[in-house]
Structure 1
Amino acid sequence: MPHFTDAGVNLTSTQFDADRDAIVTRAASQGVESMLLIGCDLQSSEYSQVLAKQYRQYATAGVHPHDAKDVPDDFIAQLRTLATQDRVVAIGECGLDFNRDYSPRPVQQLICGVQLELAQALNMPVYLHERDAFDTLSSMLDDFSLRGVLHCFTGDKRALRHYLDYGLMIGLTGWLCDERRGETLRELVRYIPEDRILLETDAPFLLPRTLKPKPKSRRNEPAYLPEIAHHVATLKNTSVSQLAQQTTENFKSLFLAHGVAG
């Protein structure tokens, strides 16, 4: 069985409260033994780090643009402390979301910017979120020299080209399994070098619409990562096992090249 790495799981979600151990066990039974647990605010970042230690996984520490408006005054100091904890390998999920605009755009830019500064100061990768904000985020990134991943990429060819030229990896999710929304992404996958792809479920969100049978809960989980891998492998004209190996190597080179404590 191929060994997969799920480069984006919201394991702190309340949707997993009743069966978190079973979620991790089911993932391993499908070959998904490595996972990156996403932090979206200070609380979930701390909890992700705790879960990463518990399950011998990895975690991010950051503030999502949706939550930018709610940060305390000392959030960057707290984030700096979290970033040095065992199993934390990236700053994020941070970025800009001009689609939902749950936080005012100037606030999003401010909170994103200080996190990019922190990532550069700590020489850590960034775990980036961008929705309908390519022009602004790309301009911000140009002020830094960062490595990282554009999580759950759903942009156009222009955005893809820029992020690849910048040096980012591209996170692919079940979005490309959506016959309604994923057509553009499926067309763009051909342009992404295999050594720049990460596979993500973004569980419990983005359940692959091609999955059969669908779970009654309609909840996504890391065990369904092979469904995404199957579609990416077909689009890249490669085998699932080769894709699994390559994307796991990509994950290690981006997040673990400097070692991880714990």
Structure 2
Amino acid sequence: MTETPTPTPPATHHPYGTPATPHVTVRGEAHLEVDPEIAHITITLTARSADRRTTLDDLTHRNTTTLDLIKSYGDTIERLETGTLTINPQLTRHGRAERIRAYHGHIQLTATINDFTTLGEIVTRLADHDLTRIDGPWWTLRPTSPHHAAARRQAVREALQRAREYAEALDTRLGALLELSDTGTHHTPLARTAYTESLPYAAAAGGTEPTDPAPINLEPVRQTIDAQVEASFTLIPPTLG
């Protein structure tokens, strides 16, 4: 009869190390400041009239004009989305009853722009439209930005450097990597908000058409990326004494 060999028991894991295999656990951190890659603006279009159909027609016209203007900038517009559309009656009390005094309409659009010179031009041209509100810009990075990976690599390098410094302080060196934990990469957009609302303009003297306003100069806000890791290494047992 052939005897079944007795399996070798697995090695006991000592999470805190032993005198024969001491461990060192360190944290690595990275803090980067980088230029933003994109900017978001929100455009709110408004129409108001005592007649519901007139309100809707005016809102539709402003929406079409705004979309055509933004789309004319081509690839500098990464995303253009329509949010909410509302038509609300404004009620007023007349005697004991309420009646509709006017209709208010709103459409909200969101645009993502990757050219900041173009951004200033778009903002001023939109703000020159009647009953158009601009909120933003909000500066940020793309989710796939290489800056996120750069911060993580820097955090790992710092953790390794710290571990080596501890090993050198003990007059020994690192053995093997036991564990590397990503404790988080955080992007903090230091966004500031600008706001402008256009008002109806009067025609220039002599009946000439008004020209486009000069583009506003918008200074991008730098973005902060923080990354943290924890790493555990074995040490060559040092000689203490």
**Shorter-chain TM-score: what band?**
under 0.3
TM-score computed with the length of structure 1 as normaliser? 0.19
Q: Looking at both structures, which has the greater relative contact order when contacts are Cα pairs under 8 Å and sequence separation is at least 6?
A: 2
Larger radius of gyration: 2
